[in-house]
Structure 1
Amino acid sequence: MISTGNRKAFFTALSLVFTLLSFAQPKSGTGALKGKVTDATNGEELIGASVILVGTYMGASTDINGMYLIPNIKAGDYVVRVQYIGYTTQILTDITIKPGETKTLNIALRPQTESLNEVTVVGRKSTVNLESAKSEVTFKFEEIAQMNVRNVQELVAMQAGVVKTQDGLQIRGARVYETEYIIDGVSAQDPLAGTGFGVEVSSGAINSLNLITGGAGAEYGGGSSGVIATTIREGGDKFEISGNWQRDYLINSKNPTSFNTDIVELTFATPIPGTKKKLTLFNNLTTRLTDEYFGPTANQLVSSLLPDQSNLLAPRYSNTHIHTLKLAYQLKPGTKITFTNQFSLSINQNTRMLQIVGFDAILVPGFQYARSQNLDNATTYTHKSILNAININHLINKKLGVNISLGRLFTNLRADANGRPFRTQTVDQIFDEDHITTDPVEIFNPGDPSGTYYVLPGNGLVNNGGISPIWHDHYAQEYSIRTKFTFNPNDNVNFISFGFQHSANEYQWIDVIRPWVGAPIKINDSTFTPSISIGSSNDIWAVKPHNGGLFVEDKITYKGIQATLGLRLNYWAMGRFADEAVENPASPVIDQVRQDYLNKTTKVLGLRWKARLMPRINVSFPVTENNVLYFNYGHSMRMPHPRFVYAGLDPVYQNRSFLANLGNPDIDPEINVSYEVGIKTKVNKDFGFTLTAFNNNRFDYIVSRSVITRDPTGRFVTRTMFINQDYARIAGVEFGFNYRLYAHYNFFGNVAYQVARGKSNSARESALQIAQNGEVQLSREQFLAFDRPWNVNIGLMFNPDSTFRIFGRKITGFRAFAVYQYTSGFRYTPMRRVGELEVRPGVERPLFMPENDKFLARLASPWHNVDLKISYDFFIKRNTGFTFSLEMRNALNNKNAQIINPVTGRAYEYGDDVPNDWRDPRPEYNGPQERGLDPRNPARYLPPRQLLYGVTFRF
């Protein structure tokens, strides 16, 4: 059911739709389109070929001589689609029909060589895709090369409804982990890290990127917010090599716009000799090294996964290495095989590398400010990912084709105290950083006659000899097969696809807090008793779950109307580890969970399985020429983080700490039921826009509850368990446009407004609400912490050709790209002053209390950002030469807050009042009662201005 507020958003969007339609009518007068459709290889006439004016109900079929005629076309600019069974579909853009004109357009179609749905675009990319009934955008390599983006995330972050924060990408108000991320047909997401991404791809290796935020087809089943599908580039029919080097300093790396950054990229592509150009190779190697903008860094990052190579691979604070290799072999016409190897390695001290999904309502930036006095003892993260994909495209006949994707994904994340071993053989010193007093010690009240002295707490920073208490290691290995058949039974009216996807997974999770606890303690060579304890708390398991899906979809096209009806059956098995825990009376599974799991699962092939049906419907139809109304409805799901399922289920190795976590094998996926209505309009060949209203209802979000169970000794203990209960509602409106001016300028932009409300922000928060307010609080809707209502992106590409002159001079080779981004600030709960708190006689600090009746109701200061890239090509000959570039990130040096002071609604500046559980750095308030960190964390703002100088070569 759609709420009242969401219905208002829908009706507002619809009224805007019809207002905009009044400005998008074609010119008065009519004309006609005629021509001949032939085979490009032999010139033979094609009888019965379909010629359609996209975005209208008008079209024709060729006669016995291959001729066609479409009369009575309103004057205007059109896109023409020509298709014939067994041939590549051809899209012709920028076709202008003038009043009284009969335009002749002859088309030669080439036989299909790779797949049943091959498309060739003749002319410029259309400003809006009138044929798609989805909210989607596609970018090709040529467009990406003009932008100042370094990877998939930065490109996607410029699109409508997508917000990039320190946590990751949020699509239409969803959480960062809810996106399905695919590379060459294979899932590329680390299912355990919780970041939404796993394998990183350099922008220079992307052939195309397709982002779907609404109306994803039935073939997709792994995400509930959107789909990011990336295709890797292939080699061409000749040898090409290119490279790029960017750095933010020329000589002195200490200048104000430098983060000590170097970015090096090398690419080459070639046909393999002796294969008659049937086998091609593409290879890309990218390295990004930077010290970021925070200031302090470790003397040397050390990875315990790569201890002998740390000096080479991790010389700076953040180090990323990416390697892409792709082989493509045209076995014969209609059959093509590709092999992709995508590797990425990151070594840094960014805590956002690992996000325990659903635990933290508001995630802080990843800089370890508390340890910034000695980052040599801080947590270092090493994330290694390897993706292998084999894709087979085969045309079985003119009406039936198949694509088979075989994949292996391996991701491994290690977090430790900057490369130190899990724990030393013996413990003969204090490792706990929180129990080492700041040195030197300062006395608050020296000479006090009472003889009682208090120590000043300093700045609250730690690491005076202690080390990070975190030791984490996980790996995820996934073997997958994805098969998709496409069938065109009756001359392009029905386009049926069906297939299946299955993944066999292996997960191992080791999470230990204060790992030195439990090690032998050896002091002065005294005797000691070995211990079997693993840290002060731990969570350890290894599991082998399965998941997959069956899907069928029929895309019906008839006289301009398109309707896609799809159905997907998702199935999953939690694996033998969960099954045995449920069946073992000694396992700490709750009795009700045990019973529900057995009742709701079906045992097949030795495992217990669940399944869920998910319908998908997309409909689009022209309302006037070049104005298409579309509607989407669909169910999608996201599997819960494995930690919610498996934590603490082993009957022997259990975390015995207070309120340890207990997994729930019966937990279900999180569900999204989405509705969307929109209009796509092509005003003319140079201007198009899209207006969309959407409503997402999310169910079965995970919450935590305290339960009582027995430990292996039979004692009753309290554990934190997880269940499906929460929900969220996200409704919004998006507007996007694309405008080309004089063939040299391309303006693009999008504006999104959305509201995200729900019962709680995370599993942890739901339990806190019950503890503080009882179950009544859970029935109240509130703004969600990740709700960012406004998101605006405005961009300009300037790429003049030889006809563009300034003062009579050509500026061919000069290119510029600029983008402005505006995003609403983070939500926060305001605080009001209620009195004073005495620090010392005569000195009182303001006392603040949160306004809980305005929970997350305020928006902090918004984000403004301008990025600019200017480049100049110096060609030796066509497509051969050098490019010099200047890139400015955050060109206006805006201070965008990402740690919010709830007293002021912006980031802390010296002299501001702060909440009483924050440390106030002003000397007059410095006393023994101060707690927390100094609020002057450099990560409280996004990066300041950065200038990067670059040179690129191509041969």
Structure 2
Amino acid sequence: MKKFNFLIALLIICFHPLFAQEDQGEVANTGTIKGVILDEQTGEPLIGATVLVVGTYRGASADLDGNFEFLKMKPGDYSLKFTFIGFGEKQYNGVTVKAGETTTLNVKMLPASQTLEGVTIVGNKSIVNLESASTEVKISREEIKEMNVRDVQELAAMQTGVNKTPDGLQIRGARVYETRYVVDGISAQDPLAGTGFGVDVSSSSIESLNIITGGVGAEYGDGSSGIISTTIREGGETIEISGSWQRDNFGFNKNQGTAWNTDIAEFSIGGPLPFTNKRVSFFVNATMNLSDNYFGPTADQLHSSLFTSNDSLWSPRQDNAYTNTVKLGYKFKKGTKITITNQHSLRVNQNTRTLQIVGFDAILQPGFQWERSLNLDNATTYTHQSNLTALNLKHLINDQWWFNVSVGRLFTNLRADANGRPFRYPTVDQIYDESSIVTDPVTIFNPGSDVQYVLPGPGLYNNGGISPVWHDHYARELTLNTSFSRYSKTGDNKLSFGFEHKSTAYQWVDVTKPWIGAPIVINDSLTTPSTSVGSSNDIWAVKPFNGGFFISDEIHYKGIIATVGARLNYWAPGKFADNAVEDPNSPVIDQVRTDYKDKTVGFAGYRIKTRLLPKINVSFPVTENNVLYFNYGHSMKLPHPRFLYAGLDPDYQDQSFLSNLGNPDIDPEVNISYEIGYKAQITKDFGVNVAAFNNNRFDYIVQRSVIVNDQTGRPVTKRMYINQDYAKVIGVEAGISNRFGKHIRTFLNVTYQVARGKSNSARESGLQIEQNGSVPLTSEQYLAFDRPWDITAGLVLKGDTTLRIFGVSTNGFRAFFSMNYQSGFRYTPYAFDGYNDLGRPLYRLEEDKYLSKSAKAWFSGDLKLSKDIPLKDKNSGITVSVEIRNIFNNKNAQIINPITGEGYEIGDDVPNEWRDPRYIGPEESGVPSDNPARYLAPRHILYGIAFRF
């Protein structure tokens, strides 16, 4: 710690003289803040209690009578924070100073054992957190209630630096899997699906949401872009019951116009448990979201082989999502509180993005199975269920020490099958391969000529065949997370340290064309069965573990706040990988064996790797309510387990050409970030936050071809993954928040960033090698997920009897309106290259302009209007609402026609490899270009009713 304190002192010496100049003479037109600080329970003065004017260098201590005073305060609005050893912190926001006047505060503080809260806020929430040296936003339940959001992802997507894509959330240009999601202190991310969230949380279950995009603290482990931390709501002092139902149709228009057969319902109940003297609280929430989507074709019924009976009960529509939340809390008399949370979610749909591992080995594609849309009853169905249980204990050891412990279990399971069909039938007596079945109608091209061609169907298939995908994985994570915090007696230092350990069990079964290898029935006679498991497979079960130790020291000195910390992460690939390295008959290549042994250390029978991640955060005032801050930090993301374990199971060896081969020596992907920012609380109702960042990402995973010997000693070529790629993301963010009295709140969040690197995914890097010989690309290029501009603006209006618009009372009326502008996807342009024999225009890919163009930008607006109708009790009532998503009905393309830079429209020229319906000939192949998923959802109108008691 001496080294940390020395570094803090050095930073203070460097920065303090530049900004700590205060007027020595009289300051004209100033005011005074004074008051007294008392123990709320005894009325005794708290002698020596500390008072800080947040966002300034000014501080004071209470005298023998508990009095404090600040003279020569410039007119304006301030926040004052009060701290005293053994008492909970208290902050008064919106303290107004007027020239020539004195503002008086009578502050009463409770012992920390009675509050168990970080800081008790008096007044409105601060528009800007001037004490934080991170780029973060905290959103409370009251704010969420006024916004048109359904879950955590929609809420987070409105913030600066967070970009919502069809695959999930990207923070500051990173890939979606690099974001860390936490629910009540426990990781809620499916480590195998790769789509970000593992456990869905509805907006009505959130007590608060904390989003950190820069300056992530040492207490957080595996996550290299940012943190989205959710605290689940608890029951209050009285029983509260609420519910709602939204629908987009009236029964006769289920799939017409702005409706596609959608129902969204939820129910909540919470409060104190009877006969517990209000010391035990509970909260229960259940939500259901059913829809047929806007694409048009649907399956007659979705089925899942995960459910042994009544599988249709959970999947009446094309997209079916459920969440269930239960939370119990128990508050002891003396500084101890325990909560237990269970969060469960279930999704059943045919959206391929459920499993799509973007950034690993897949290029972005929409999730609608357009090629199978003639018969979605035979398409792939995905069932994703997750369950998280978290036990949290918060304990005040004494006046200076706090202790927190979280114990959690996360279980996720994802099954993909041919709409509920078994893995494979006992025997094969028909053609299952959909691509081998000629699709009707069959026509003849060039009839009457010496050379004729058969033209099969419209390019879509699945006339009797079934999806060739069968996948099942589960992840079970058991987590222990502890932290200790020590506050100095003077309140100017906070030391935190702790550790996290996560024991995991993963199983992965991925089979292509599973019917291959089953016995074949020919003329009622059984052929000799094959020994293969599908045409290709990837099967393994492993038990790795990981964790970390962290320490950080937060020092306050005359308004300067500096935090220096470090985290030592460790991880063990587990016995499965250790045994594969030691087994001379396994397909692990020799260089990997050597490197694995050299870069790991033995501990308790396991091979372990470690990495040290330093963190530095500094903030200091420039003038009153204006703060500069600086962040530097290292973070990491463990690789997807398939990169370590694929093809290493001794009993399931995939012998197919170019099958995957695991690399037990692969390292985490690393982000080294720099950030400088500025925060200003102009008034108590107007704040600005500006930040510039530079994220350097190293050890991105790439694909390479290697030659190994199979079980028979025959050399075969396989695809192995190594750490070699990099990316660089630089950007600027700005956020503006404004309150107009108690009725209107507005916000504007603007992000501009540029993401460049060598390849977009592991698979793409392998293709580059194949196209360019053995030498990979060395120059940076735009990345496919580079979308420079992201602008979100919103307005919240809450009416009451005092606000009238055009003479009409707004009592009970609420409105939320938001707009979003995002740069379109990047694409590589094509150049005109003549005509073919049918007169079709031909185009040539301009490889030297790889991803140099941006498609037409996305723009959308959402509106929700609500009217509260109170009942006899002022706390009960009914609410009616109308919600319009994409109110302007903009067509936002997610499949880009590189000829036009927009979504495909009938009559457009398309690349040579796309099917062009205007020219019917033998060279026209592939699926039709008019995939309805080429655009995001059109305008959607929902009507709702809600109640509360």
Give CA-to-partner distance per residue, 1:182-236, whole Å, 9 cap, x none: 0000000000000011000011100000000000100001100000000000111
- Shift in Å, 1:331: 2.5
Match of 1:437 in 2: 438
Match of 2:45 in 1: 45
Matches within 5 A, 1:263-412: 263-360=264-361, 362-412=363-413
Match of 2:925 in 1: 931
Matches within 5 A, 1:318-717: 318-360=319-361, 362-448=363-449, 450=450, 452-717=451-716
Give CA-to-partner distance per residue, 1:161-183, whole Å, 9 cap, x none: 11111111111000000011000
1:846 counterpart letter in structure 2: P
Label 1:517 to 1:295 Cα distance change in 2 as closer, same or farther (>3 A).
same
SS of residue matched to 1:905: coil
Equivalents in 2 of 1:115, 1:708: separation in Å? Answer: 64
2:781 counterpart letter in structure 1: Q
Normalised by the size of structure 1, how large is the TM-score? 0.95
Equivalent in 845, 849, 870 of residue 854 of structure 1: 849
Match of 2:898 in 1: 902
- Asked whether 1:878 is paired with 2:879, we answer no
- Shift in Å, 1:531: 2.5
Equivalents in 2 of 1:527, 1:89: separation in Å? Answer: 78
2:472 counterpart letter in structure 1: D
- Shift in Å, 1:808: 4.1
Equivalents in 2 of 1:731, 1:143: separation in Å? Answer: 31
- Asked whether 1:740 is paired with 2:739, we answer yes
Give CA-to-partner distance per residue, 1:898-921, whole Å, 9 cap, x none: 000001100000000000000001
Match of 2:8 in 1: none
Length, aligned pairs only: 922
SS of residue matched to 2:520: coil
1:615 counterpart letter in structure 2: P
Equivalents in 2 of 1:482, 1:172: separation in Å? Answer: 27
- Asked whether 1:864 is paired with 2:846, we answer no
Match of 1:6 in 2: none
Label 1:702 to 1:855 Cα distance change in 2 as closer, same or farther (>3 A).
same
Equivalents in 2 of 1:306, 1:527: separation in Å? Answer: 31
Label 1:199 to 1:291 Cα distance change in 2 as closer, same or farther (>3 A).
same
The answer to which of 486-495 and 610-619 deviates more is 486-495
Give CA-to-partner distance per residue, 1:610-655, whole Å, 9 cap, x none: 0000000000000011100000000000000000000011234211
- Shift in Å, 1:807: 4.4
Equivalents in 2 of 1:893, 1:98: separation in Å? Answer: 49
Give CA-to-partner distance per residue, 1:26-67, whole Å, 9 cap, x none: x97211111000011121110111111110001211011101
- Contact residue 116 and residue 400 of structure 1 kept, 8 A: no
SS of residue matched to 2:722: strand
1:710 counterpart letter in structure 2: N
SS of residue matched to 1:765: helix
Equivalents in 2 of 1:361, 1:536: separation in Å? Answer: 19
1:936 counterpart letter in structure 2: D
- Shift in Å, 1:776: 4.7
Equivalents in 2 of 1:316, 1:116: separation in Å? Answer: 45
- Contact residue 114 and residue 394 of structure 1 kept, 8 A: no
- Shift in Å, 1:115: 7.5
Match of 1:102 in 2: 102
Equivalents in 2 of 1:821, 1:540: separation in Å? Answer: 42
Equivalents in 2 of 1:684, 1:126: separation in Å? Answer: 10
Equivalents in 1 of 2:126, 2:506: separation in Å? Answer: 44
Q: Which runs of 5+ in 1 are unaligned?
A: 1-17, 19-26
Give CA-to-partner distance per residue, 1:441-465, whole Å, 9 cap, x none: 11112333x2x43112332101010
The answer to which of 399-408 and 651-660 deviates more is 651-660
Equivalents in 1 of 2:117, 2:588: separation in Å? Answer: 50
Matches within 5 A, 1:797-836: 797-836=796-835
- Shift in Å, 1:775: 4.9
Give CA-to-partner distance per residue, 1:840-888, whole Å, 9 cap, x none: xxxx211101111110010000000000000010111322010111100
Give CA-to-partner distance per residue, 1:477-499, whole Å, 9 cap, x none: 00010001111123211111100
SS of residue matched to 1:438: coil
- Shift in Å, 1:70: 1.1
Match of 2:21 in 1: none
- Shift in Å, 1:116: 6.6
SS of residue matched to 1:234: coil
- Shift in Å, 1:117: 6.0
Label 1:775 to 1:529 Cα distance change in 2 as closer, same or farther (>3 A).
closer
Equivalents in 1 of 2:807, 2:751: separation in Å? Answer: 41
1:851 counterpart letter in structure 2: E
The answer to which of 37-46 and 183-192 deviates more is 37-46
Equivalents in 2 of 1:398, 1:254: separation in Å? Answer: 62
Equivalents in 2 of 1:811, 1:791: separation in Å? Answer: 33
Normalised by the size of structure 2, how large is the TM-score? 0.96
Match of 1:134 in 2: 134
- Shift in Å, 1:727: 0.4
Match of 2:6 in 1: none
Equivalents in 2 of 1:282, 1:575: separation in Å? Answer: 39
2:876 counterpart letter in structure 1: T
- Asked whether 1:784 is paired with 2:783, we answer yes
- Contact residue 441 and residue 457 of structure 2 kept, 8 A: no
Equivalents in 2 of 1:704, 1:294: separation in Å? Answer: 34
1:642 counterpart letter in structure 2: P
Match of 1:153 in 2: 153
- Shift in Å, 1:361: 5.5
Equivalents in 2 of 1:746, 1:246: separation in Å? Answer: 25
1:910 counterpart letter in structure 2: I
Match of 2:11 in 1: none
Match of 1:949 in 2: 943
SS of residue matched to 1:142: helix
1:176 counterpart letter in structure 2: V
**Percent sequence identity over matched residues?**
62
- Contact residue 441 and residue 456 of structure 2 kept, 8 A: no
- Shift in Å, 1:806: 3.0
Structure 1's consecutive aligned runs of 4 or more residues displaced over 4 angstroms after TM superposition are 114-117
Match of 2:91 in 1: 91
Match of 1:179 in 2: 179
Label 1:361 to 1:905 Cα distance change in 2 as closer, same or farther (>3 A).
farther
Equivalent in 907, 917, 930 of residue 911 of structure 1: 907
